[in-house]
Structure 1
C-alpha cells in the first residue's frame, strides 16, 4: 500500500497541484486547506509524513505541528511558507520540530518531493495508461470556431523570447490590435507542421493522470500555483469544443496551443491587419497543395518578412494565453511533463505581469463588479504570492496602493483615484488576483 502524505495549504490551486505531484510519485495524499481539517484527517488516516504551510486561516502551521506530534511523536514534518523567510526561521523549525525540510515560496516542488522520498520512499508503480476519460487533446489538424461575440485584444509591441542555447532576445514592434475574426470559412484541415505530429496530441496523457477542476475566475490562481511550485507542465482549458493549453517551464508560461480557428497563425495575421483575408486564402491553398506551412508561403510571396515571423509568432502565442482571461467558465486539466523544453522558441512572461495585464485587458466591467463590491475593504496581504517589485505599476497605481489599508471602501478608493471606474476596478481585482491585496474579513 502506498504511504500516505498529509499536505496542508490554504491556496486551493497550489494544494491541488502538490496533491497531484505526490500522487504521481506514488503516494496516497490527504489534502487540507485548514488546520482543523488537517487534524481530523490525520486522526482518521495517520500520515507517514506531513507537509505544512505555516500560515493557515484558522491556526499557525506550528500549532498544527504541535497537535500532530502529540498524537504521532515521530511524524516527519516539512514546512512551506510565503511569510517566514530567512535562515533564522528555518533554524528554529529544525531545532524545535526536527523539521526535515523548510521551503520558502516560490520553491521547487521537485526538491520537496525528493526531501519527502528520503524520509518515506514512495510505492513504485507503473505509469497509468492514458484513458479517453483522462486525456486532454488539442487537435492540431482540425480547427473549430468560437461561439458568441468576440472582443478586440490590444497587444503591446514588445515580446521577450528564448531560443536555442538559452539565448534571450527582446523584440520590439508596433502595438497590435487583434480584431475578432469577421467571417470564418468552413472548417478546414491544416497541413501537418514539420516537427509536430499530425495526430491529436494528448496533454497529460502520458505518465501521470491529470488533475481536473472547474475553470471559473481562477486562471490567476492556477498560473500562480505553477509559479509558486516552480513546476514544468501544462494547463489545458476547455470550453465547449474549444481547447487551449498553456505550457509552463519552471513556473513560467512559455508557449500555448489552441484548436480555435481564429488562433491559427494565418488568421492571427489577418486579425492584426498584417495581411488581407484573400491573401491568406490564396496562401492556404498553396500550403495545402504543397504540404507546407502557411507562414513559409507568406514569406515566399513577400507578404511576411522572415525576420518578422518570430515577432508575430510570439504575439500569436501571447494572444492565446491572454484570451483565456476572457473565459469565466469551463474545465481545466493540470499535468506535468517536459513538453515545454522541446519548443524551439519560448516566451518570457513573468506570471505577475501576465495576470495584471490579462485582468485589465479582458475582465469586463460587470465581471469586475461581481468579484469586488463597492462596500468591500481591502488590506495588504500577509502572505503575498508576488512581491510588488515584480509588478509593473503605473504612477497612479503606486500612489493608490498605500491608501489600501482596510479603512477605506472600494467606493472610496474609486473616488480618490479619479480614474474611470472600470480602470480602477481592473487594478484592484488584479492586485487581489496576485494575492498582493486581500479582502478584510
Structure 2
C-alpha cells in the first residue's frame, strides 16, 4: 500500500524504490510469520497503532491528492502541497472526472470473488487503446518516461530507510492480521508477504490484502490463481504504464481506505485519553517522519504500558482459570483488565473454553476493568469468536461506570443484557432462581 504513494513523483528511480519497498515488506512479513509469536506486540494499545496508521495515511493522502487534481509538486513540503490544493485554477478537470469515475466504479462494483482493482486496471488499459487519455491532457507514466524495474544507482538509495519503512508497514499488517485472523494468522501473514513479493515484480503496484470487511482487494485461496494470472499479464504486457496517473492514485487511496477499521473509530466517542493517544501518535509521525516518529511513539507507548502495569499490579503473570457448571463456564480474571494485558488475558480465556461444550461463558472482571478502546476491541473480538462457536459471552463484575461505558459503545455480539455489575456467582444464582420461578 505505501509503495503506491511513490507514484507521486515523476522521477524514474522512484518506481524502482517503490518496488524495493514492496519487496522488502513481503520479505519482512514472511520472516514475521516464521519467527514472531502471535502476541509479541499485543502490549501496544490500539490508539497507538491507529495513530501510527493515521500519520502514515495522512502523509500518503497529501502525496496522492495532487495527482488526482492533475498538478505536480516540485517538492514534498506541506506548504507547497497546500498551495497546490487551494490554487484551483491549475486543476486538471478531465483528470478529476476520470478519478471520480474510477472511484465510483470501485465503490459501486459489488463483487465477492475477484480482485476488482486489477480488473479496473484492465478496463482502463483497454480504454487507453480506444481513446488515448493524453488527448485530453491526462498524464500517464509513459509520458514521464517510466520503466519497469529501471536501472538506477544503488549507492544513491537510502537502504536503512527502505528497510525501516518496510519493517514498519509489515508490523502494521502483522498486528491487524493477529487481531482479525487469530486462528490463521501465520497463513494470513504468509499470503500478505507473498502478494507483496509478487507485486514488486510488477514495478511496485501493490495488490493489497484486506482483513476487515471489504472483499475487493482480498486474496483468498479460490481467487489466488486469478490474481496470479492477472499479475502475470500485467508483468508481461506492461499494462500499468498506459494507466493514467489519476487512476493509480485513486486505486491507492481506495486501498488505503479499505484497510482502515472504520467500525473501531466509533469506539473513540468520549474516550478522551484514547483520542489524545491517537492524535499525539499521528502528530509525532507527521512532525518527525516515519523514521524517527515511529520509534518515539512506540517507546512512549512502552513506558506508559510499564507504568500502568506496575501501578495497577496488572502485569500478565497470573492467568485466568475456568470453572464448569452444567452448560455454563465461569472465567475469573485474576487481575485488572486494561490495555496492557487485555490481549493476553482474553486470548487465554478463549483458549480455555475453545473445546468446552458450553452455551454460556461468564467472564468475571471483579478485579477491575478499565473502559478503554483496547479493551473494547479485544472484548468484541472474543465475543465474535465465541459467537462463531454458538456460545454467548457475559461480562460480569463490572463497575457502574465501566458497565455504562460498555453498553454505550454497542459492541458487536454483545447486547446490553450481557453486561452486569454483579459477579459471576451472584448472577448465576439470580438466573437460576428466576428460571425456577418461571417453571413453578
Between 1 and 2, higher relative CO (CA 8 Å, sep ≥ 6) is seen in: 2
Q: Which has the higher helix share?
A: 2
Higher Cα Rg, which structure? 2
Q: Which has the higher strand share?
A: 1
Q: Report the TM-score when normalising by structure 1.
A: 0.22
